[in-house]
Amino acid sequence: MQKILLILFILISQISFSQDLKQSFDFANELFAKKDYTGAGITYRRVIYFDKAEIYRKDCYKNIADCLYETQQFEEAADYYELAFFQQKTDSAKAEVIFKKMSCYLILNNFEYAEIELLNLPSNLNAEQNNKKVFYSAVLNFSIEKYDLAKTQFLSLIDSTNTASKKKIEQLFIKNEKINKLNPRTARIMSMIIPGLGQFYAGDIKNGTNSIILTLGIATWGIVTAVKSTSPFDVLVTAAPWFQRYYMGGYKKAEQIAINEKKKRRSKVYNQILDEISK
pLDDT tens, position by position, 80-130: 999 999 989 899 999 999 999 999 999 999 999 999 999 999 989 999 999
Crossing angle, helix 232-277 and helix 184-193, to 10 degrees? 160
Assess if residue 232 is contained within a domain.
yes
Assess if residue 234 is contained within a domain.
yes
* Rounded mean pLDDT, 254-279: 91
Q: How many domains does the chain have?
A: 1
Our separate counts of H helices and E strands in the chain read 13, 0
Assess if residue 80 is contained within a domain.
no
Q: How confident is the model at residue 234 (pLDDT cuts 50, 70, 90)?
A: low
Assess if residue 48 is contained within a domain.
no
11 against 94, higher pLDDT: 94
Cα–Cα distance between 274 and 279 in angstroms, integer? 9
CA angle 198, 201, 206 (to 5 degrees): 80
Question: For residue 216, what are the domain limits?
Answer: 184-277
pLDDT digits (tens, 9 = 90+) for 181-210: 889 999 999 988 888 888 888 888 888 888
Assess if residue 227 is contained within a domain.
yes
Residue 20 has pLDDT above 50, yes or no: yes
Cα–Cα distance between 84 and 99 in angstroms, integer? 12
| Least confident residue range of 20-34, 86-100, 223-237 | 223-237
Residue 225 has pLDDT above 80, yes or no: no
Assess if residue 226 is contained within a domain.
yes
Assess if residue 155 is contained within a domain.
no
Assess if residue 205 is contained within a domain.
yes
